[in-house]
Amino acid sequence: MSRLKLALVLLSALGAQALARADDGYRLWLRYDRLPATTLHAAYAAAARQVILVSASGADTAVDGAATDELCAGMKGLLGVETRVTRESGAAQPDLGDEGYTVSLSTRGGSPAFVVTANRDQGLLYGAFALLREIRLDRPESGFPLRSAPGIRRRILDHWDNLNRTVERGYAGASLWEWFVLPDYISPRYRDYARACASLGINGSVLTNVNADSLVLTPEWLRKVAAIAGALRPYGVRVYLSARFSSPLEIGGLKTADPLDPAVASWWRDKVSEIHALIPDFGGFLVKANSEGQPGPQSYGRSHADGANMLADALAPFGGIVMWRAFVYEADAKRDRCMQAYDEFMPLDGKFRPNVVLQIKNGPLDFQPREPFHPLFGAMPRTSLGLELQITQEYLGQGTHLAFLAPLWKETLDSDTYRPGPGSTVARVVEGSPGGNELSCIAGVANTGTDRDWTGHPLAQANWYAFGRLAWDPSVSSARIADEWVRLTLGSDPRVTEPVERMLLGSREAVVDYTGPLGLAGVFAEGHHYGPEPWLDQGRPDWTSVYYHRADQRGIGFDRTTSGSGALAQYSPEISRLWGDPATCPEDLLLWFHHADWGRTMASGRTLWDEFCLRYQSGVDAVRDWRRTWDSLKPLIDPETHDHVGALLAIQERDACWWRDASLLYFQTFSRRPLPPGVEAPAHDLAYYRSIRLRWMPGNPSGK
């Protein structure tokens, strides 16, 4: 062999080795590497030679090709089998709706086969992913047959992506959408994104920030949007856009955006038909109106219903919807900010068009590590109510802290509103009716970006996964979701699954402990929201921290009982009675609803102050414990991933200590009590922590 040839052979062998070893996280939870040869896998391999797709409607959309591609690639990779996918038509199964599926391990012509049934192609695609997932979960026994249908019809990712490719509250690089080169260049990443979404059942994507730019509605930009829509369509992901309410003024040449002005309504009608000509399956608009400086109908003396209905009328002929956000509040220091959305929207119940869904954040404030559920979920029976969650970790350590969010979201989904009666959980309210209304909707603010691993923190992929799984089925437990994600991403070795799942499942509570235990909220640094700033007392009152914690020499917490702001009255009588009495209010929400004395005796027998301090410490201890666990997993985890997560956990420990020390020193100026035994002495004095200023933080494009 010539020297050149030999060098080439050696080089390519080295390259192949590097590829096999380094895991850059790009494949997410969709890794189709060969499974070990077990009896169960041999049985799967035998069946995988033929997969039969049975649907009631015959091939009806563009998504069938995606199901076939996925099955062939998956079976080949996992089991080394060439799969023949065939189609049959079958009877309609009303309980499966448009998207549900069954998957069974069966026989055809005397040979084993997998059979996927659905009413429509979208269901077959979800069935194909479920089939591959079940094989990959690598459980000791087959979980087949599978049967599943979603309760919530619109399962959407909201991207807070700007047209200059910065991402508001994005911690994983730039925006996925390469606007400048669109529509000429269609990045293969769009397809990979859509495929990841479809693997979880996510069927919609709002491409643009709620703090919207009307430019995206101009013809040039709509052609770019249409190109992205074309890339997502084969995976059943529909495109939606955020709509800036003042667009008729900014790009339409009109003198007003008053929703009751006929010229305005007609401008929007024309705009929507223009969009539909380019994107026939366009989903509709997401609107943030009269909130945090965004324009809206109230600028013209009109109500939120007037604004939403005008847009809804423009979209209705094309089957589009309006997702109107309930995240509104004014700079009114006299009115509890957490009560304002209810006060604004509750009187409008029954006044919205049938294609409007009111999109409500999980809690009444703003995606804090812990909040009670939003009272609007129990207050508007004649309106479609959608749930908005935040996958990106704005208030939970952003791109550097481990915080698995399924337990946070489950807390909201499982909360009983007691309206109209017991058992009316938020999940049920959002579903609307068994099987879901056409308009039932759940949205997650995405944590994706151009980072190679999509989410910046390798373990934050679990949050994208968890959102999709809960959107499809809110009844799945956090433990089950964690188990699935770890197996699909890091493998099924119990020496890995057990400790990593423990880390994931305890992480949200640890973040609550070191940022704001016992129902404390709103104590984050101004602007970027990364670190602590409980002393913030300047500027707009409802954007300060002192507004929320109300610490004084007597105690701490926001009194929302009848002697305080009265916010508890927005909940059902059952809840306001339970939470209104500090003796029966869950301790995790105590400071949300009550101003409690520092010396108050807690369930543990300790004083509130001691308990409060020990919670911060326990948050720090948890992170230290994960670091030890993670170090011990070094031989079992891909080296690149191990190093990356290890470094991030070190940052998290440093930050948890910072949160603990800064917060306790500050609150100690009110409590005037010593730190209890078991709480470490702060490393610096309060002046030091108060002087920390972080600039140009990710996710905060203004840099302040």
CB-nearest residue to ligand BDP: 366
How far apart are alpha carbons 66 and 56 in whole angstroms? 18
> Which of 64, 306, 366, 431 contacts ligand BDP by CB under 6 A?
366
Q: Which two tokens stand for residue 573?
A: 């009588």
Task: Using the minimum distance from each CB to ligand BDP, give the nearer residue, 359 or 572.
Answer: 359
548 binds ligand BDP (CB under 6 A): no
How far apart are alpha carbons 480 and 496 in whole angstroms? 15
How far apart are alpha carbons 263 and 266 in whole angstroms? 5
- C-alpha R_g of the chain: 26
Shortest spacing between CB 699 and ligand BDP, in angstroms: 8
Shortest spacing between CB 526 and ligand BDP, in angstroms: 11
Shortest spacing between CB 444 and ligand BDP, in angstroms: 12
Residues from 176 through 205 that contact ligand BDP (CB under 6 A): none
Hey, how many other C-beta atoms are within 10 angstroms of the C-beta on 89?
A: 11
Shortest spacing between CB 445 and ligand BDP, in angstroms: 7
How far apart are alpha carbons 153 and 440 in whole angstroms? 5
Shortest spacing between CB 291 and ligand BDP, in angstroms: 6
Let me know: does 439 contact 540? Beta carbons within 8 Å: no
Task: Using the minimum distance from each CB to ligand BDP, give the nearer residue, 366 or 371.
Answer: 366
Shortest spacing between CB 512 and ligand BDP, in angstroms: 17
Contacts of 545 (CB under 8 A, 6+ apart): 522, 523, 524, 533, 534, 535, 536, 537
210 binds ligand BDP (CB under 6 A): yes
Shortest spacing between CB 17 and ligand BDP, in angstroms: 44
Which residue in 213, 394, 451, 484 is the catalytic one?
394
How far apart are alpha carbons 269 and 259 in whole angstroms? 12
> Which of 171, 324, 327, 598 contacts ligand BDP by CB under 6 A?
327
Task: Using the minimum distance from each CB to ligand BDP, give the nearer residue, 392 or 424.
Answer: 392
394 binds ligand BDP (CB under 6 A): yes
168 binds ligand BDP (CB under 6 A): yes
Shortest spacing between CB 525 and ligand BDP, in angstroms: 12
> Which of 171, 193, 352, 367 contacts ligand BDP by CB under 6 A?
367
408 binds ligand BDP (CB under 6 A): no
Task: Using the minimum distance from each CB to ligand BDP, give the nearer residue, 288 or 595.
Answer: 288
Residues from 504 through 543 that contact ligand BDP (CB under 6 A): none
Q: Which two tokens stand for residue 67?
A: 């199901």
How far apart are alpha carbons 7 and 68 in whole angstroms? 40
How far apart are alpha carbons 187 and 190 in whole angstroms? 6
> Which of 142, 148, 211, 668 contacts ligand BDP by CB under 6 A?
211
Which residue in 366, 483, 610, 653 is the catalytic one?
366
Answer whether the bond into residue 183 is a cis peptide, omega within 30°. Answer: yes
Task: Using the minimum distance from each CB to ligand BDP, give the nearer residue, 529 or 560.
Answer: 529
Task: Using the minimum distance from each CB to ligand BDP, give the nearer residue, 120 or 529.
Answer: 529
Task: Using the minimum distance from each CB to ligand BDP, give the nearer residue, 388 or 453.
Answer: 388
Shortest spacing between CB 183 and ligand BDP, in angstroms: 28
How far apart are alpha carbons 451 and 449 in whole angstroms? 6
How far apart are alpha carbons 343 and 329 in whole angstroms? 10
Answer whether the bond into residue 458 is a cis peptide, omega within 30°. Answer: no
154 binds ligand BDP (CB under 6 A): no
Cα dihedral 605→607→613→617 (10° resolution): -10
Answer yes or no: 542 catalytic: no
169 binds ligand BDP (CB under 6 A): yes
Residues from 245 through 304 that contact ligand BDP (CB under 6 A): 288
Which residue in 33, 220, 270, 292 is the catalytic one?
292
Task: Using the minimum distance from each CB to ligand BDP, give the nearer residue, 396 or 622.
Answer: 396
Task: Using the minimum distance from each CB to ligand BDP, give the nearer residue, 362 or 384.
Answer: 362
* Helix, strand, or coil (residue 113): strand
Closest Cα to residue 396, out of 656, 662, 616, 660? 656
Please give the size of the binding site for ligand BDP, defined by CB under 6 A: 9
Answer yes or no: 655 catalytic: no
166 binds ligand BDP (CB under 6 A): no
How far apart are alpha carbons 67 and 597 in whole angstroms? 60
Taking CA atoms, 434 is separated from 26, 101, 665, 677, in Å, by 37, 17, 51, 52
Shortest spacing between CB 360 and ligand BDP, in angstroms: 11
374 binds ligand BDP (CB under 6 A): no
Answer yes or no: 366 catalytic: yes
Task: Using the minimum distance from each CB to ligand BDP, give the nearer residue, 83 or 242.
Answer: 242
Q: Which two tokens stand for residue 140?
A: 């000791």
Sign (positive/negative) of CA torsion 453, 457, 458, 464?
negative
How far apart are alpha carbons 182 and 448 in whole angstroms? 19
Cα dihedral 303→309→310→311 (10° resolution): 120
Q: Which residues are catalytic?
A: 292, 366, 394
Task: Note the residues at the interface with ligand BDP (CB under 6 A).
Answer: 168-169, 210-211, 288, 327, 366-367, 394
